[in-house]
Amino acid sequence: MAYVSSLAPGYAVKGKPHKTKTGLEIPLEINKGDNDFYGKTINDLIVNVDYETAERLHVKIADKDAKQFPVPDSTYGMERPKLRKPAKKTNYDFSYTENPFGFKVTRKHDKEVLFDTNDYPLVFEDQYLELSSAVPDDANLYGVGETTAPFRRNNLKQLIHLPNNNLFILTECFYILYIIERELTITCFLLYSYGAHPYYNEIRDGKAHGVFLLNAHGMDVFFAEGRVTYKVIGGILEFYFFVPKDGRPNSVLEAYTDLVGKPFMPALWMLGWHHCRYGFNNISHVNWAVDGYKEANIPLETIWVDIDYMDHEKDFTFDPVNFPEESMIALSKKMHANSQRMITMVDPALSTNDSYPPYERGREMDVFLKNNDGSELQGQVWPGYTAFPDWWHPKTAEFWEYEITEWMKLLDLDGLWIDMNEPASFCLGSCGTGKANTDPQIQFEMDPEEAAKVHAQEQIALDAMGTGVPGDSRNLLYPKYAINSGGGNLSERTAPMTALHYGDIPHYDIHNLYGHAECSLTRDILLKYKPTERPFLLTRASFAGSGQHVGHWTGDNHSQWEKLKSSISEIFNFQMFGVSYSGADVCGFFLNTTETLCTRWMELGAFYPFARNHNTLGTINQEPFVWDRTAEASRRALSIRYSLLPYYYTLFEESHRVGTGVWRPLIFEYPEEETFLDNDVQVLIGTDLLLTPVVEENATSVDAQFPKGIWYDWYTNEAYESTSAEEKITLEAEMEHIPLHIRGGSILPTKTPEYLVTDTYASPYTLVIALDKKGRAEGRLYIDDQHSVEQPETSDITFTYKNGVLKARGEFGYKDTEKIGAIKIIGAQEELTTASYKGDKVKVTKKDGALVAEDLDIDLSCKFTVKFR
Q: How far is CA 862 from CA 249, 796, 810, in A?
A: 35, 11, 9
CATH 2.60.40.1760-classified regions of the chain: 4-260
Burial of 13 (0-12, 13-18, 19+ CB in 10 A): middle
Please, which residues have CB within 8 angstroms of residue 111's CB and are 6 or more apart in sequence? none
Q: CA 643, CA 640: separation in Å to the nearest integer?
A: 5
H or E segment to which residue 195 belongs:
strand 195-196
Q: CA 104, CA 118: separation in Å to the nearest integer?
A: 7
Q: Where does 159-282 have alpha helices with state H? A: 249-260
CA nearest neighbour of 23 among 88, 112, 120, 75: 88
CATH 2.60.40.1180-classified regions of the chain: 660-738, 764-868
- Coil/strand/helix, residue 845: strand
Please, which residues have CB within 8 angstroms of residue 687's CB and are 6 or more apart in sequence? 664, 669, 743, 746
Task: For the beta carbon of residue 552, count every other beta carbon within 10 angstroms.
Answer: 29
Angle at 423 between CA 418 and CA 429, to 5 degrees: 150
The pLDDT of residue 160 is 73
Q: CA 649, CA 795: separation in Å to the nearest integer?
A: 13
Residues 50-87: tens digit of each pLDDT: 999 999 999 999 999 999 999 999 999 999 999 999 99
Q: Where does 136-282 have alpha helices with state H? A: 249-260
Active site residues: 419, 422, 556
The pLDDT of residue 147 is 83
The pLDDT of residue 510 is 97
The pLDDT of residue 167 is 54
CATH number given to 764-868 = 2.60.40.1180
The pLDDT of residue 20 is 97
The pLDDT of residue 186 is 41
Q: CA 852, CA 835: separation in Å to the nearest integer?
A: 9
CATH 3.20.20.80-classified regions of the chain: 268-647
The pLDDT of residue 1 is 39
pTM (two decimals): 0.96
Angle at 717 between CA 714 and CA 719, to 5 degrees: 105
Instruction: Name the CATH superfamily for 4-260.
Output: glycosyl hydrolase (family 31) (2.60.40.1760)
Q: CA 680, CA 666: separation in Å to the nearest integer?
A: 8
Q: CA 666, CA 704: separation in Å to the nearest integer?
A: 12
Tell whether the torsion through CA atoms of 411, 417, 421 and 424 is positive or negative.
negative
* CATH architecture of residue range(s) 660-738: Sandwich (2.60)
- Coil/strand/helix, residue 598: helix
CATH fold for the domain made of 268-647:
TIM Barrel (3.20.20)
Q: How far is CA 330 from CA 33, 299, 325, 755, in A?
A: 72, 21, 9, 22
Which parts of the chain have pLDDT scores under 50? 1-2, 168-191
Q: CA 515, CA 512: separation in Å to the nearest integer?
A: 7
CA nearest neighbour of 256 among 653, 669, 544, 581: 544
Q: How far is CA 742 from CA 6, 222, 298, 575, 579, in A?
A: 52, 39, 24, 21, 25
